Structure 1
Amino acid sequence: MYVTIPNEHGTPCAFTPLVSTLPQTAETRLKTGAYLYYEGDEVEWLYQVNSGVLRLTRLLSDGRRQVIAFGYPGDIVGFPSANIHHTDCEALTDVRLQPFRRSALESGEGDPQLHTALLQAALREISGMQDHFMMLGRKSASEKLASFLCVLAERVGIDLGAYRSVTLPMSRSDIADFLGLTTETVSRTFTQLRKSKIIAIDNIYTIIIQRPTALLELSMGDCD
C-alpha cells in the first residue's frame, strides 16, 4: 500500500484474490515481528496478503530507515529487482499470505490468467509508487497524513454511523518514515487533526474519522 491519489467517493477498496486455475500452494503464515524476506535475498516467490499487515523497509547508507510501503490484504509483495528483493519485509501483525512462484510473473505458460493478473498488479504498484512520490515531494505534513488516513479508511476502515474507524498497526515512527516526516511532526499533526475535530484518537492504534469530507479535502489541499 502506498499513499495514492484519494478516491473522491470514499468507497472502500475490496480485497480481490488473484485468479489461478492451478492448485494453490499452501498459505504462508507469519507471526508478528517475523521477516518474510530481507533486502538482497534472491526472489523465489511473490506473495499476496490474505490477512494482516506487512512493513517494507530499506536502510540508507547512513543508517536512516525509509518505510517503502505497507502490505495490506489484496496487495502483492516481493516483486523482483534484478532477481533480488530490494526491501526487508516484516510482519506488523500476524499475517497470512498466498505464495506464487516468480516464474508465474515471468512466463504465462503454466497459468496465463495468473500471469496476466500478476502483470496487472505490477503495473498498479508502479502507478501507486508514482502517486506516492508525488505526495512526498509536493504535499505539506497535514496533507500527507490526511492522505494516508484517507487511503486506510478506503482500504480497511470500519463504518461507525457517520464516522469511520481505522486501526493503525504501525507506530508513529513508521508513519513518519513512510511519509518523509519526523516522528514529532506526525504526532503534532495528529494533535492538530484532533483539535480540529476531524479525527478522534480512541487509542494509539485506533483513529475515528469524525469528518471524512474535511479529511478528504485536506488531503487534496482544499482547506487549511
Structure 2
Amino acid sequence: MYVTRLNEHVSPQLIPQPVKTSTVTRLHRVAEGKHLFFEGEEAGNIYRVVSGVLRLTRLMEDGRRQVIAFGYPGDVVGFPSDGQYHTDCEALRPTTVVVHNRAALESSTGDAALHASLLQAALREISAMQDHFLMLGRKSACERVASFLCVLADRVGTPLGEFTQFDLPMSRSDIADFLGLTTETVCRTFTQLRKRNVIALDRIYTVIVLKPRDLFALAEGEASCN
C-alpha cells in the first residue's frame, strides 16, 4: 500500500483486486516479527497478502531506513529487480500469503489468467508508487499524514456509526519512515488532528475518523492543521 492521490470517492482502480489461485500456488503463514524475504535474496516467489500486514523496508549504507510500502490484504509483494528482492519484508501482524512460484508462472504451461492478474497488480503498484513520490515531493507534513490516514480509512476502515475506525499495526516511526518525516513530526501532527477533533485515538493503535471531509480537505491541502 502506497499513499496515492485521493478522490473523495475511492476509484476501484486504486483498490488491489484479488489474484486467482491455481495448482502452482500454496498458502504460507508468517508470524508477527518474522521476515517473508530479505533484500538481495533470489526472488523465487511472488506473494499475495490474504490476511495480516507486511512492512517493506530498505536500509541505506549509513543505517537510515526507508519504509517502501505496507502490504495489506489484496496487495501483491515480491516483484523482483534483476531476479532479486529489492526490499526486506516483515510481518507486522500474523500474516497469511498466497505463494506464486515465479518459475511456474514464467513457463510455457503457466496459468495465463494468473499471469495477467499479476501483471495488472505490478502496473497498479508502479502507478501508486509514482503518486507516492509526488506526495513526498510536494505535500506538507500535515498533508502527508492526513493522506496516509485517508488511504487507510478507505482500505481497511470499519464504519462506526457516522465515523470510521481502523487499527494502526505500524509504529509512529514506521509511519515517519514511510512518509519521509521525523517521528516527532508524525506524533505532533496526530496531536493536532486530535485536538481539532478530526480524529480520535483509542490508546495509540486505533484511529477513529470523526470528520472525514475535514481529513480529506487536509490531505488535499484545502485546509491547514494549524
Residue 29 and residue 65 in structure 1: after superposition, are their counterparts in 2 closer, same or farther (change >3 A)? same
- Given the alignment of the two structures, is residue 177 of structure 1 paired with residue 166 of structure 2, yes or no? no
Query: Which residue of structure 1 lines up, in the alignment, with residue 65 of structure 2?
Result: 65
Query: Which residue of structure 2 lines up, in the alignment, with residue 17 of structure 1?
Result: 18
Aligned-partner SS, 2:216: helix
TM-score (norm 2): 0.94
Cα distance, 1:10 vs. partner? 4.9
Deviation digits for residues 120-174 of structure 1 (CA, Å, limit 9, x no counterpart):
0000000010000000010000000000000000110000011000100000000
Cα distance, 1:110 vs. partner? 1.5
- Given the alignment of the two structures, is residue 47 of structure 1 paired with residue 47 of structure 2, yes or no? yes
Residue 191 and residue 4 in structure 1: after superposition, are their counterparts in 2 closer, same or farther (change >3 A)? same
Residue 185 and residue 116 in structure 1: after superposition, are their counterparts in 2 closer, same or farther (change >3 A)? same
Query: Which residue of structure 2 lines up, in the alignment, with residue 141 of structure 1?
Result: 141
- Given the alignment of the two structures, is residue 152 of structure 1 paired with residue 149 of structure 2, yes or no? no
Structure 2 unaligned spans of 5+ = none
- Whichever residue aligns with residue 36 of structure 1, its letter is L
Cα distance, 1:92 vs. partner? 0.2
- Whichever residue aligns with residue 178 of structure 1, its letter is F
- Whichever residue aligns with residue 170 of structure 2, its letter is M
Q: What is the alpha-carbon distance in structure 2 between the residues aligned to residue 193 and residue 142 of structure 1?
A: 9
- Given the alignment of the two structures, is residue 35 of structure 1 paired with residue 26 of structure 2, yes or no? no
How many residues were matched structurally? Answer: 223
Cα distance, 1:61 vs. partner? 1.3
Aligned-partner SS, 1:27: strand
Q: What is the alpha-carbon distance in structure 2 between the residues aligned to residue 211 and residue 108 of structure 1?
A: 52
- Give the alignment of 1:55-204 within 5 angstroms: 55-103=55-103, 106=106, 109-204=109-204
The 4+ residue runs of structure 1 with deviation greater than 6 A are 11-15
Query: Which residue of structure 2 lines up, in the alignment, with residue 215 of structure 1?
Result: 215
Residue 111 and residue 88 in structure 1: after superposition, are their counterparts in 2 closer, same or farther (change >3 A)? same
TM-score (norm 1): 0.95
- Whichever residue aligns with residue 101 of structure 1, its letter is N
Deviation digits for residues 5-59 of structure 1 (CA, Å, limit 9, x no counterpart):
1131158976642124x32533100110000000000000000000000000000
Q: Taking every aligned residue pair, what percent have the same amino acid on both sides?
A: 61
Q: What is the alpha-carbon distance in structure 1 between the residues aligned to residue 106 and residue 191 of structure 2?
A: 47
Q: What is the alpha-carbon distance in structure 2 between the residues aligned to residue 6 and residue 116 of structure 1?
A: 26
**Kept in 2: contact 1:53–1:93 (CA 8 A):** yes
Q: What is the alpha-carbon distance in structure 1 between the residues aligned to residue 184 and residue 74 of structure 2?
A: 31
Residue 161 and residue 80 in structure 1: after superposition, are their counterparts in 2 closer, same or farther (change >3 A)? same
Aligned-partner SS, 2:26: coil
- Whichever residue aligns with residue 132 of structure 1, its letter is H
Q: What is the alpha-carbon distance in structure 2 between the residues aligned to residue 11 and residue 213 of structure 1?
A: 17
Cα distance, 1:103 vs. partner? 3.3
Cα distance, 1:77 vs. partner? 0.4
Q: What is the alpha-carbon distance in structure 2 between the residues aligned to residue 79 and residue 56 of structure 1?
A: 12
Aligned-partner SS, 1:26: strand
**Kept in 2: contact 1:51–1:73 (CA 8 A):** yes
